Amino acid sequence: MKLDDLFEQEAKAAKSRKSDAVYTAAKARYASLGVDTDAAIKLALSLPISVHCWQGDDVHGLEAPREEAVDAGGVMATGNYPGAARNGDELRADFEVAAGLIPGKLRFALHGMYMETGGKKVERDEIAPEHFTRWVDWAKAKGWALDFNPSCFAHPMVTDGLTLSSNKKAVREFWIRHCLASREVSRYMASKLGNCVCNLWISDGRKDSTADRMGPRARLVEALDVVYAKKLPKVVDVLESKLFGIALEDYTVGSSEFYLLYAQSRGLGICFDLGHFHPTESIADKISSTYLFVKDILLHCSRPIRWDSDHVTRFDDSLRAVADEAQRSGCMQKVWWSTDFFDASINRIAAWVIGTRAVRKAILWALLEPWKYAVDAEYGGDGAAKLAIEEMRAILPFGAVWDQACREADVPGGLGFMAEVHRYEREVTLKRT
Ligand code: RNT
Ligand code: ZN
């Protein structure tokens, strides 16, 4: 069978399976372990996942004039698969296709450099709500809230690899103005759409043998104190640390310890990106370690391969562990779920769909854990029973529950979504030059 025929067949099969004997059996199996699958599906679909805009155009942005984009390090999308969105309308249209294939509630995350200025040059420290009205009107019509990120990279004012932590006053002040303006944009988005998570990540760091590690950090504290001096209604401010970046291998100003303590001491939230820690470090464990001290946690679901490579998120061990810990720690509904990956080597709409479906799967997976029994075994001193319960999870009929979730959300289960991805590719994205 040809691939496209397989995808069509999957799409049809998913539609015709209205009431599914397979799901009924799965539901009974989970019920025997004290787990209510209907309730889990309902909750899993209701939790918003904030999908990042930048998978759609390889972190290019919409600044005018377009050819001026600068690669000043920090993040890098690799690959040249055809059909990337070239403007805001294409990005919106592409995401609408992706959103139609992702079960459950969504938000959408923008960056400062996705301003729309009608071709007029607007500097980053001059961005204002008026440059995001098209995004807000669109999101409102779709029923999505928007999240926001200041863009402190890919710009000529990134000077000697530094922004907010620069020793040059003019550089520092430029980026402070950009961050303040970004928070105003967030306030506008929150006022129109309910709330807005504003996440700050900066690439500041050094390549080798850093001589002064304290100076940039001390300046960053001062700069951040200006940026966050005023609390803004319904804006959730979070800070994203990182271990290292390309060309910034030796020193990252905004390290994990730095932001944890900064956020905690200033009443701000923290962002954990799944690619921003040592490869064997557990991000899952950070949830219960930090949630007792910080109010908000944003999870950037990403997938590092050997380094912070930002591969498309998969339903893998590390993502499942994070979802499990969110649920077990009692903050499944309080953490902010979001995605952060950019693969320019594959169909970008499929990347959005596959990565975000993986996050939704992990949430559902965590909600289906027979956790109470594992805890009983743990406190009862029966480590073997706990191990047996956890080991059994892997073979429970999860796939049937996931397919049911897709049916309830009216999106194709199985591989059916690829039929739509390929149709749109043939009719739209491959025609872009
Ligand atoms: C970079 C951070 C950051 C970016 C986006 C574009 O390492 O993960 O979140 O990916 O802001
Ligand atoms: Zn990130």
Q: Where are the domains of the chain?
A: 1-35+371-433, 47-367
Given this model, what pLDDT does residue 423 score? 97
Half-sphere exposure of 82 (CA within 13 A, CB side): 10
Given this model, what pLDDT does residue 19 score? 64
Calpha distance 150→179 (Å, rounded): 6
Calpha distance 191→146 (Å, rounded): 11
Calpha distance 326→309 (Å, rounded): 24
Calpha distance 113→152 (Å, rounded): 9
User: What residue spans of 143-210 are helical by DSSP H?
Assistant: 169-193
> 27, 52, 276, 361: which is the annotated catalytic residue?
276
- Give residues (CB < 6 A) around ligand 1: 54, 59, 75, 149, 201, 240, 242, 273, 300, 308, 340
Given this model, what pLDDT does residue 73 score? 62
Give the strand pairing for 49-52 and 106-111.
parallel
Calpha distance 35→28 (Å, rounded): 9
> In angstroms, what is the span from residue 273 Cα to ligand 2's centroid?
5
Mean pLDDT of residues grouped by 10 in the chain (433 residues)? 91 74 95 98 98 97 77 79 98 98 98 97 98 98 98 96 98 98 98 98 97 98 99 98 94 98 98 96 97 96 96 98 98 98 98 98 98 97 97 95 95 94 98 91
Give CATH superfamily name and number for 47-367. Divalent-metal-dependent TIM barrel enzymes (3.20.20.150)
pLDDT in tens, 371-423: 999 999 999 999 999 999 999 999 999 999 999 999 999 999 899 999 999 99
> In angstroms, what is the span from residue 342 Cα to ligand 1's centroid?
10
Give bridge partners of residue 108 from the DSSP assignment.
51, 146
Check: CB of residue 201 under 8 Å from CB of residue 149: yes
Helix pair angle (256-266, 214-227), 10° resolution:
30
> In angstroms, what is the span from residue 74 Cα to ligand 1's centroid?
8
Q: Which amino acid is at 373?
A: Y
pLDDT in tens, 7-21: 999 888 877 666 689
> 131, 300, 361, 386: which is the annotated catalytic residue?
300
Q: Which ligand is nearest to the CA of 60?
A: 1
Write the CA distances from 146 to 24, 195, 228, 316, integer angstroms: 37, 8, 20, 27
Check: CB of residue 5 under 8 Å from CB of residue 423: no
Looking from the CA of residue 342, the nearest atom of ligand 1 is 10
Given this model, what pLDDT does residue 18 score? 62
3-class secondary-structure state, position 182 = helix
Residue of the CA atom closest to atom 3 of ligand 1? 201
Q: Which of 300, 338, 341 to mutate to test the pocket of ligand 1 (most atoms within 8 A of CB)?
A: 300
Q: What's the DSSP call for residue 74?
A: S
Give the residue carrying structure tokens 């599914």: 20
Other Cβ atoms closer than 10 A to 44: 27
> In angstroms, what is the span from residue 240 Cα to ligand 2's centroid?
7
H or E stretch covering 384: helix 383-393
Classify the C-alpha dihedral 388-391-397-401 as positive or negative.
positive
Is 71 buried (19+), middle (13-18) or exposed (0-12) by CB count in 10 A?
Answer: exposed
H or E stretch covering 58: none
Given this model, what pLDDT does residue 71 score? 62
Dihedral angle, C-alpha 40, 327, 291, 243, nearest 10 °: -110
> 201, 337, 365, 371: which is the annotated catalytic residue?
201
Check: CB of residue 73 under 8 Å from CB of residue 112: no
Single pTM value for the model: 0.97
Given this model, what pLDDT does residue 295 score? 87
Q: Can 431 be counted among the known catalytic residues?
A: no
3-class secondary-structure state, position 205 = strand
3-class secondary-structure state, position 276 = coil
Q: Can 296 be counted among the known catalytic residues?
A: no
306: left (phi over 0), alpha (psi -120 to 50) or beta: left
Other Cβ atoms closer than 10 A to 383: 10
